[in-house]
Structure 1
Amino acid sequence: MANNFVPRKYRVYLGLGLEIAVSIAFPIFLGYLADQYFDTAPWVTLSGIVVGIITFIFTVLRISKRTTEEEG
C-alpha cells in the first residue's frame, strides 16, 4: 500500500511544478510572439512577464489553499 502512495505523491508534485512553469512561461512566450508580429519589442514581452508573475502568484495561492484543505 505504501508503494502506491510514493509515486502518486511524485505525480502530484510534478503536476504542481508543471502548472507553475506554464503559468510563467506561457504569457511570456505569447508576449514574445506578439512583439515579433507587431514589431513592438520589448513592450509586449514585458507585459507578458508581468502577467506571468501575477498568474504565478495566483497559481501558488490556489495550490497552497488546495493542499492546506487536503491536509486537514
Structure 2
Amino acid sequence: VRNTLDDRLKGIRMQYLSSTIWRKGDKDRAKAMIQAIEKMLKTRRIMRNLEKFVGLRLYEGDLRILQRTI
C-alpha cells in the first residue's frame, strides 16, 4: 500500500495503478497516509527492539544478541 501511494504521489506511472488524475486533496491524503504508515512501522520496530532488550521476545537464531544481554 505504501509503495503504491508513494508511486502515485510522485507521478510514476505503473501498470498496476489506475490512470485517473489525482487532485491536490488526493495527493495530500496520500502523503498523510504514507506518514501514518511510516510512524506505525517505526513504533513497531522500536517495540520489537525493546522487547528483545528486555528479554520478552525470543531470539531467532542470533546468539550474539543473546550473549550481549546476559
Q: CA deviation at 1:40?
A: 2.6
Return the index of the structure with the highest Cα Rg: 2
**Larger helix share, 1 or 2:** 1
Corresponding residue number in structure 1 for 2:31: 49
Query: RMSD across aligned C-alpha pairs, in angstroms?
Result: 2.4
1:65 and 2:47 correspond: yes
Q: Name the CA distance, whole Å, in 1 between partners of 2:33 and 2:25.
A: 12
Matched length: 47
Q: Percent identity?
A: 6
- Correspondence 1:1-72 to 2 at 5 A: 23=2, 26=3, 27-31=5-9, 32=11, 37-72=19-54
Q: TM-score, normalization: structure 2?
A: 0.51
Gaps in structure 2 of 5+ consecutive residues: 55-70
Point out 4+ residue stretches in structure 1 off by more than 6 angstroms. Answer: none
Higher RCO by CA contacts (8 Å cutoff, separation 6 or greater): 1
Partners of 1:29 and 1:45 within 8 A in 2: no
